[in-house]
Structure 1
Amino acid sequence: MCYTSEPPTPEYLFREQTVQIFSIRVRAPTDGLKWPLHVHGYVATRDSMDRNRNYLFRCARDNCQTLTQNDPFLLLTGPSRGVVFLDPITFEFQLKVKGKGESEDEMLAFGVFYYGDGNACARKLSMSIPHNRCTLEYEVALRPRSVEATISVKIVDGSWPENHRGQVVALTSGVDGEIVLLRSGDRELPVGSDGAIELSRRVVSVDLREKLTVAVDASLSGFLARGTAEFKPENYGTSHGVCDLGSCKIQVAVAWSLFVIVL
């Protein structure tokens, strides 16, 4: 959101090719590791913006994520800004499986790899990368002329339906697949006293020729209610829409920003 409130200055601010990360999945644990896995550590990228780590997953040992064979996806909390693709992107990872004591933790994946497939702008890719004791499967897509969309949601009328599970996803018209921003699972939906819903991740890359849709789902015993809000990308500023779930109305705010490249 660095340049959301500023009019674009052509010599400094750009629409850039970015990498949208949809999901990271742990597959085929080996060497004595078995499901469930209590995982902590991080996965991050470094790109052409500033070479700093941009965390996709970051989980402390005392708050590790439990992965099962039925749900082996890391709970992504990033990126904190769009991942710019001007030259190959570095993926860094250090994932451990929690043991009874810290000295008994076991390494699941450690190292780096480089992503540089610039020929896949129009489709989603699934990359299976073998690591120390598992395979990590990354679902990504290149977005050729994109801006950064930072999403927030807030209940502005009514209340969340009692005992219903919640999910917030983003979809873009150019690539199939949902970008999960929040999935409450069996936990209570994280709604603040002011109605704001705390998302796990907020940033999505959107090509200016596409449409962005934000969907909020409420489900109970197979019944699903979905409210959607649709947005046309902008170079800067904030757009607003409303998802109507019947029992409540949820305001969606999308802050748009261009990119500055530091050479």
Structure 2
Amino acid sequence: MQSTCSGLDKLKKLRILSETFVAISDYIKRSCEPLQKEIVDDPIVAKRVNLDDLSSYHAAWKSIWGSQIAGCGSFDDITTLSPMQFTHSTPGIFPHAAVAGPALQIFSIKIVNVHANLRWPLRVYGVVAARDTVDRNRNLLFSRSRANCQEVTEADPFLLLTGPSRAIVAADTVKFEVELRIMYAGADTKDTVLFSSTYNYYSMQQYANPRISSCCGMLELSVGRLTRAVQATIVGVRVVEGEWPFQYGCRVSCYLSPDEDLVPTTPTEVVLVNCKVEEMEKQSDGYVNLSRNVVSVQLEQTLKVVIQAYSESGLEYLHNVEVDFPVKQCQTTKCLCTVGNSTVQIVVAWSLLAMDKLDLVLEGYVTPV
């Protein structure tokens, strides 16, 4: 019993120390004046004139959160917490660490106000990530290598998101980190640094379109802040009976019920996959390969999943099916719907949020590093 209490005391002290580090980190950030950023003198070559915002932030993070005391790992470590952390819970009987709390929903990220010297389309690669106070690790929203860059056009300037991998908790400030480059063909040219910066989303502010600026352009995020959120993981969209109805592509999205706590201009659609191809081959075991799976939703409301099958022209939908899922705190929900002459099963897993990784350590869900 004594050793257990001693362990709890150490974790409580670590929590206090962690909160102190937050204050120190904010002070360092405020005291570091942003240094000069990238200057584009040529549409092909971007010249570095000094360290950027992200570099100074990186150094501050490493000295505090990357220390042995804080134990958050390396700067590039991604969050390993599951979006289905409490899915297995018995309804009405939840661990202390499981709560419905404030969270951000990322609807879209697009590139706007591109510098006149740059030419569309842009072949973009790099990372866009969010970092909350749950574990201080990166929650990837967009991540592509140079070999797998995305071609972003002026007509469709949106990044193809693959995250977050779990809900972004917004009890405190959420840090967005952007490292994006534009790829140019040819061995004798250098890739342009499009963005290399950070952005603070403060927990008490509610706005739908925060913007991150650089001398090359602007990144616009469509974000909604939910006050009592749980996380929904769309485990699968699967054709279980009949022919494959998506031979010309499909679009699967989620709509969130309007929330009076959101600003009026906040969008409500989260695109899980949008595949327009001449012919979309049937996936393994009939599953639709979703680009995104995790959605933050308001408790006591409804999540609407929409499945749309493209026509051969790709300009209209042959089928448009909507399925409503009342939001739950745990367990899974399965629903069958008809798309054309086929039966499609949708499975959604529900889970409350973990607000602090230390709470999971205390209850034995996570082993301390």
Q: Which residue of 1 aligns with 2:295?
A: 204
Letter in 1 for 2:96: E
Distance 1:15 1:31 in 2: 45
Could you tell me whether the CA contact under 8 Å between 2:254 and 2:304 is conserved in 1?
A: yes
CA–CA separation in structure 2 for the residues paired with 1:13 and 1:104: 48
- Output the CA distance in 2 between the equivalents of 1:52 and 1:188: 39
Task: Report the Cα distance in structure 2 between the residues aligned to 1:205 and 1:257, rounded to whole angstroms.
Answer: 10
Query: Which amino acid counterpart does residue 108 of structure 1 have in structure 2?
Result: L
Distance in 2 (alpha carbons) for counterparts of 1:206 and 1:54: 18
* TM-score normalised by the chain length of structure 1: 0.92
Matched residue, 1:228: 322
In structure 2, how many angstroms separate the alpha carbons of the residues matched to 1:130 and 1:167?
Answer: 31
Structure 2 CA distance for partners of 1:94 and 1:82, relative to 1, 3 Å: same
Alpha carbons 1:16, 1:145 under 8 Å: kept: yes
| Aligned equivalent of 1:75, options 142, 156, 160 | 160
The structure where strand makes up a greater share of residues is 1
What corresponds to 2:333 in structure 1? 239
For residues 146-225 of structure 1, the aligned pairs below 5 Å read 146-151=229-234, 152-161=236-245, 163-174=247-258, 176-186=267-277, 188-189=279-280, 191-220=282-311, 221=313, 222-224=315-317, 225=319
User: How many pairs does the alignment contain?
Assistant: 260
- Once the two structures are superposed, what CA deviation does each residue of 1:2-22 show, in whole Å capped at 9, x if it has no partner? 221123524221111100000
Classify 1:191/1:201 alpha carbon distance in 2 versus 1 (closer, same or farther; 3 Å).
farther
1:109 aligns with 2:211: no
* Aligned residue among 15, 18, 21 for 2:100: 15
Is 2:212 the counterpart of 1:129?
A: yes
- What residue identity is the alignment partner of 1:53? R
| 2:300 alignment partner, SS class | coil
TM-score (norm 2): 0.67
Task: Give yes or no for contact 1:107–1:132 (8 Å, CA) kept in 2.
Answer: no
TM-aligned CA deviation for residue 188 of structure 1 = 4.4
The one of the two structures with greater contact order (alpha-carbon pairs below 8 A, sep at least 6) is: 1
2:146: which partner in 1?
61
Cα shift at 1:219: 1.9
**Which amino acid in structure 2 is aligned with residue 216 of structure 1?**
I
CA distance in 2, matches of 1:187, 1:2: 39
Change (3 A) 1:26 1:190: farther
The alpha-carbon distance between structure 1 residues 11 and 196, as it changes in their structure 2 partners (threshold 3 A), is same
Distance across 2 between alignment mates of 1:101 and 1:2: 46
| 1:30 match | 115
| Contact 2:109-2:159 at 8 Å conserved across structures | yes
1:160 shift after superposition:
2.7
Residue among 126, 134, 147 paired with 1:41: 126
Q: SS of the residue aligned with 1:194?
A: helix
Q: CA deviation at 1:117?
A: 5.1
* Cα deviation, residue 157, structure 1: 1.2
CA gap 1:218/1:104 in 2 versus in 1, 3 angstroms: same
Using the TM superposition, give the Cα deviation of residue 119 of structure 1 relative to its aligned residue in structure 2, in angstroms. 4.4
Match of 1:261 in 2: 355
CA 203–67 in structure 1, closer or farther in 2 if over 3 Å, else same = same
Question: Is 1:215–1:243's contact at 8 Å kept on the other side of the alignment?
Answer: no
Give distance in 2, aligned partners of 1:12 and 1:128.
Answer: 33
State the structure with more CA Rg: 2
Gaps of 5+ in 1: none
User: Gapped runs of 5+ residues in structure 2?
Assistant: 1-83, 260-266, 359-369
Aligned to 2:363: none
Aligned partners of 2:279 and 2:203: how far apart in 1? 40
Q: Which has the higher helix share?
A: 2
Deviations 1:86-142 (A, max 9, x none): 11100001000011247611110011110015243xxx7122321241100100101
What corresponds to 2:177 in structure 1? 92
Using the aligned pairs only, state the percent identity: 37
